[in-house]
Amino acid sequence: MARKKPLVVVTRKLPDVVETRMRELFETRLNHEDRPCTQAELVEAVRTADVLVPTVTDRIDAGVLSQAGPNLKLIANFGNGVDNIDVESATQRGITVTNTPGVLTEDTADMTMALILAVPRRMAQGIKVIETGEWHGWSPTWMLGHRIWGKRLGIIGMGRIGQAVAKRALAFGMSIHYHNRRRLASSIEDKLEATYWESLDQMLARMDVVSIHCPHTPGTYHLLSARRLKLMKKEAYLVNTARGEVVDENALARMLEAGELAGAGLDVFEHEPAVNPKLVKSDRVLLLPHMGSATIEGRVDMGEKVIINIKTFMDGHRPPDRVLPSML
């Protein structure tokens, strides 16, 4: 007799090729409407599923997990970050958590580099001038920005994405600096021509551009606090394609409004999908709707990782991308 397929509940619409493969392998419940699940729907999902496939918009906290049914043994997150999941609570309940690391590195690094290029050169303002019909011709002193060649880039979090950004920025003539929980091997530092700063405060005070690439954890919440933001040079730029909660968004908005920072490029926000109105109004900010990893190739690769994690787990083996509380 054929073994019963596990019930896999997917919380959001995934690429067709991924959903089709899931249907072939598992008993799969899909979200055809592609709307965020309500709290009640998440609770119902954990009560009935063998495997839950959530995304960054789904809060799988201790309250939701406390109502999980006996069959739920795996949460295969469709995403690299797992700050949407209470991993410790899941582990205590015997539920394995996996993620999809590595596949979004190049896509996110590309978007970060685009912001590093666009913000100092005032591209958002230039687009707005064209769209509103306010452009009246070229002038030698109008819409002046800053070159990035020769500028210092400070990277916060030198993991896969941080290193990919450093590689790109180096090619654009930037000087690479970084702050990380652990110093990189000298061979990597040499390759990236990167300078390590044990003190984040000291690095921030010296950089022309600061780019955030650390995860959101209790330890990194408001890592860039009002105090730290004020350490940055008035002429500096901040870029964030990681997690909005890492930055004190209200403090950032106040500083931009007061001209205490030159500008910012933000793809993530502290209270997504809500965006601080002061940021929306500011002509010093380029805002994007959390699309740093939004490529077709990246989303398909994420889905394939989810499938591999589920299949490996269901075959009785340790999934390749298991996340443990000690890793956070």
Residue 2 lies in a domain: no
Whether residues 198 and 128 fall in one domain: yes
Give the active site residue among 44, 290, 304, 322.
290
- Domain range for 197 is 105-287
> Does 1 fall in a domain?
no
Residue of 168, 213, 243, 299 with catalytic role: 243
Res 240: pLDDT: 98
Active-site residue, 272 included: yes
Residue 117 lies in a domain: yes
* Total-model pTM: 0.89
Summarised one tens digit per residue, pLDDT across range 171-208 is 999 999 999 999 999 999 999 999 999 999 999 999 99
Regarding whether 19 and 72 lie in a shared domain, the answer is yes
Do 155 and 184 have their domain in common?
Answer: yes
Do 278 and 307 have their domain in common?
A: no
Question: Does residue 205 sit within a domain?
Answer: yes
**298-302 contact pairs (CB < 8 A, 24+):** 298/103, 298/104, 298/107, 299/14, 299/15, 299/18, 300/15, 300/17, 300/18, 301/100, 301/103, 301/104, 302/78, 302/79, 302/100, 302/103, 302/104
Count structural domains, the chain.
2
pLDDT digits (tens, 9 = 90+) for 59-87: 999 999 999 999 999 999 999 889 999 99
Q: Is residue 307 part of a domain?
A: yes
Are 69 and 127 within one domain? no
Q: What are 98-122's pLDDT values in tens digits? A: 999 999 999 999 999 999 999 999 9
135 and 260 together in one domain = yes
Confidence of residue 327 (pLDDT cuts 50, 70, 90): low
Task: Please say if 243 is a catalytic residue.
Answer: yes
Backbone φ/ψ region at 143: left (φ over 0), alpha (ψ -120 to 50), beta = left
Residue with tokens 């999934």: 319
- The mean per-residue pLDDT over the stretch 288-302 comes to 96
Secondary-structure percent of the chain, ordered helix, strand, coil, rounded to 5: 35, 15, 50
What pLDDT does 17 receive? 97
Choice among 41, 44, 106, 272 that is catalytic:
272
Q: Which residue has the tokens 């787990």?
A: 313
CATH number, domain containing residue 97: 3.40.50.720
